[in-house]
Chain A
Amino acid sequence: MIRALHRWPGLLALALVTILSLSGAALSVFPAAERLAAPQAEAGLTVAALADRIQAVYPGVEQIRRSPSGRITAYWFDQGAPGAAVIDPVTGEGVASADPNQAERWLTNLHRSLFLGDGGRIAMAAGAAAMLILSLSGAALVARRAGGWRHWFARLRGPLAGRLHVEIARIAVVGLVLSSTTALWMTASTFDLLPDGGAISAAPTEVSGETGSALDQIPTLQQTPVAELRELSFPYSGDATDVFTLKTDRGTGYLDQGNGALLAWADLTGWERVSETIYMLHTGQGAATLGLVLGLMALGVPAMGATGVLVWLVGRRGRPRIRGNQSAGHAETVLLVGSEGGSTWGFAATLHAALTQAGQSVHVGPMSGFAPERYAAAQRIILLAATYGDGAAPASAKGFLDRLNASDRAPDISLAVLGFGDRSFPAYCAFARDVAAAAHAKGWPELLPLDTIDRQSPQDFARWGRALGDALGIELELSHRPVQPQTTTLTLVSRRDYGAEVQAPTAILHFALPRVALRQRLLGSGFARFQAGDLIGIVPEGGTVPRLYSLASGRRDGFIEIVVKKHPGGLCSGQLTALEPGDTVSAFLRPNPGFRPGRSRAPLILIGAGTGIGPLAGFVRGNTRGRPVHLFFGMRHPESDFFYGEEFPGWQDEGRLTRLVTAVSRGARPHYVQDALRGEATQVAELIRNGARVMVCGGRDMAACVAEALAEILAPAGLTPAVLKVEGRYVEDVY
């Protein structure tokens, strides 16, 4: 619901809010420029003295105005010709033109009415209302995603567009709420919807009838400092019944031109004060610094618009049409999807297609639409559940758990739960686990035990599909291709071979950087931008499902490098390790922002074994700033599979690598990387206590052993890997 409230006003009002924010940001500069340019009155200067100075220079002065920036403007008539100038209060002389700035005027009219009069004002007010709705719904989404308002500034993970969107939003939202609320108030005020008009004080009827009181002798003007002045209007020359009109920050008064007496005074009303404060907050006139800050925040709007559209497009593209979807009442298999961004729907579509082809009748729907009483023909229910944020239900699964928990008993239809998530998150598949636990507690019969899919892995999905097929007694081959990105042809330049002697033939493959199209460069897509730790996907010839490999190089290195071990019978690894220089493969890039060393200067502890050394070696190679890096590397035998063994001494000399600790598993005393960690327990604990970041890359079993070893090492310090994960200081890339 909140998401819809964010998405649709956002897309509809995109153009309006973009114009509003860009023009607003441009306008925010003017009050500050005026403040800097305007000659300021000396402290303690009274209106009487100022008016006297100005009148000495311009005897025909009619009006003196002071803007909130302190700029003083005088208007006069000299021999029938009107004149006006910005006044230097020290001399009373004109120093600059008082004509309105044409650029500012143009921008103001664009900003408030699109040059379209009242219709335009209403359109722009609608834009401001959209901005307010977007800000509030967006703030609710950020809070939900972060797991509560207290975690407003929690570390972000996920694709760049989404992160940028939230990163900008959580800073700019304050300004945008302020700007849009004040804009709505000002529009209401302009259309007379608020009782904030000035109190009308009747023009004084009793005047002395004399003229010619010296300005510097009028007590009220003597008591009013220039800092409070807004406007002083002079009586018409030759009209003895006319009066001085004085407007200050406090109110409006009339002064007798003969004896200088204060004839009438009206204070500003409460409504007027509120409206003026709001005007100041919105325009920055009288609060130039705030204005600049708001202007800067407004600049975030076009960026959020662009990233927001990207997030929406990616989510939409990832959500395919389900062809031949059966009704819930007739389907044998009911497939319910809990998806936040839409990618889980893609898996549902693949499963739906495969089951349908196997002769099943299948219904696909959101988990939020869970209604067991309607599943009259259902023999099984399959839940595909992603997780949102810190373990919350994703958008399309809202209310599922409440409904299940509220029911007397679970439906008598067997259930399989498949969780989708990312192992680098601490709450990996937490929602799916909650659902499975609740189902178990309700005694829901189990078709398959809970299984999980890490980072949309097609391999994981295919494996689970075979298990499902076995349970159903059908042949089920799920070949899911998430969103097949456009591939680029990579040419192998050189290869280095290792590991043949220890029955683990492995190659470091070195590809040339492909040519990048201008469009990709602009969008930062394809191979235009990548870092060590990002993934490249390779679709093997004769295969449909891409395999992912971690990059051991970044764009700046000028080449693409991966470490590939030949798996017995492995299609993709077999083809890759058979490549000779000059051969080509088709590959695409998948950013892996959750596995990056970051720009901090805190020490890095890199832990890897086997081919997991690839991205870690890439981080070391890219460490040109001398950040302390401690690398723990597990191998089988230093004579055979010591990847990058030739480079490490050089990197150490150059200060890219502080320390290398190796563990050798083949030999008289097998030694694994977790053992190496334990051997350095004191130093590792010390480093982590001092803010070091831990990055682990390698097989799943190794990662589990490393986590166990770290838990032991950190226990005396009262830390756990889980805590570090939450802080974003412990990240894994496992396979």
Chain B
Amino acid sequence: MKSLLATLALTTALTLPGLAAARPVTLTTTLNNYGGDGAYLALYVTDSSGAYVGSLWMAGGKSKYYEHLSDWYRATGGDTAQVNGITGASVGAGRTLEITLDLADALFDAGYTLHIDAAVEDMRDSPNEVAVPLTTDGAGTPVQGRRYIASFAYDM
């Protein structure tokens, strides 16, 4: 498999009150060959009521295109401060984005959902390309996205 090998270890911006323990989680996103330029991906978390909690990663450096990640954009009002320090390059077709973050234990098995919005220049916007509940059992189970993501999995 072609891999971008963007393996990174960093502290997440996702700070929740009362969090004590955290663990490294690896998020692996593989794109299919959709035949377009590099995809912008926004990875973020909502709570059980669907409210935005925080962002995990932004693949794509030009904030003027963030509006095409429409769910993320509407949830955050396009606030780039939400992805300060957790922004990387866009991901080419067929490539894999692999990121490792320290995620709070409290995020798991508590009704939180991880979303990925995707957008490609001159192609359809795909908000909510992936939406997976964060559960300990679900770790390691790949899911397919709607349009651009061939597989996504989180491993602990």
Q: A711 to chain B: closest CB distance in Å?
A: 68
Interface residues of A in 203-262 (CB under 8 A from B): 203, 233, 236, 241, 245
Chain B: minimal CB distance from A318 (Å): 49
CA of A163 to CA of B147, assembled, Å = 56
* B67 contacts partner chain A, Cβ-Cβ < 8 Å: yes
- Once bound together, how far apart are the Cα atoms of A510 and B61, in whole Å? 73
Q: Are A192 and B35 in contact, with the CB atoms below 8 A?
A: no
Binary CB contact string for chain A from 180 to 198 against chain B (1 if under 8 A, 0 otherwise):
0000000001111000011
Taking a contact as CB atoms under 8 Å apart, the answer to whether B62 and A192 are in contact is yes
B2 close to A (CB within 8 Å): no
Is A75 touching B62 in the complex (CB atoms < 8 A)? no
Q: Is the interface of A mostly helix, strand, loop or mixed?
A: mixed
Interface residue stretch chosen among A98-106, A521-529, A597-605, A623-631: A98-106
Whether, in the assembled complex, B123 has its beta carbon less than 8 Å from a beta carbon of chain A, the answer is yes
Are B124's CB and A105's CB within 8 A?
Answer: no
Residue A77 lies at the interface, judged by CB distance under 8 Å to chain B? yes
CB contact under 8 A between A200 and B36, given known A82-B146, A190-B64, A236-B128: no
Interface set, chain B 55-89, CB cutoff 8 A to A: 61-64, 67, 70, 73-75, 77-78, 89
Which interface residue of B74, B75, B125 has the most chain A CB atoms within 10 A? B74
A118 on the interface (CB 8 Å rule)?
Answer: yes
Judge if A424 is at the interface, Cβ distance under 8 Å: no
* Cβ 8 A contact of A109, one of B37, B50, B123: B37
Indicate whether A233 sits within 8 Å of B70 (C-beta atoms), given known contacts A63-B125, A192-B63, A200-B78.
yes
Q: B63 to A197, Cβ gap below 8 A?
A: yes
A43 sits at the interface (CB 8 A): no
Q: Is the CB of B77 within 8 A of A105?
A: no
- Interface core residue of A63, A191, A200 (most chain B CB under 10 Å): A200
Contacts of B77 in A (CB 8 A): 200, 202
| CA gap between A609 and B64 in the complex, in Å | 75
B122 within 8 A of A: yes
Q: Nearest A residue to B122 by beta-carbon distance?
A: A100
Q: Is the CB of A63 within 8 A of B61?
A: no
> What residues make up the interface of A, taking CB atoms closer than 8 Å to B?
62-63, 75, 77, 80, 82, 84, 99-100, 102, 105, 109, 117-118, 189-192, 197-198, 200, 202-203, 233, 236, 241, 245
Number of interface residues of B (CB under 8 A): 25
Q: Which residues of B contact A233 (CB under 8 A)?
A: 70, 125
Inter-subunit contact A82/B35 (CB<8 Å): no
Known contacts A192-B63, A197-B63, A202-B77: A245-B147 contact under CB 8 Å: no
**Separation of A77 and B145 alpha carbons in the complex (Å):** 13
Tell me the bound Cα distance from A506 to B147 in angstroms. Answer: 88
Which residue among B36, B64, B89, B121 has the maximum number of chain A CB atoms within 10 Å of its CB? Answer: B64
A245's partner among B50, B70, B146 (CB-CB below 8 A) is B70
On whether the beta carbons of A105 and B36 are closer than 8 Å, the reply is yes
- What residues of A have a CB within 8 angstroms of the CB of B78 in the complex? 197, 200
Kindly list chain A residues whose C-beta atoms are within 8 Å of the C-beta of B74: 203
Report how far A241 CA is from B50 CA in the complex, Å: 11
- Closest chain A residue to B89 by CB distance? A117
Q: Which residues of B contact A202 (CB under 8 A)?
A: 77
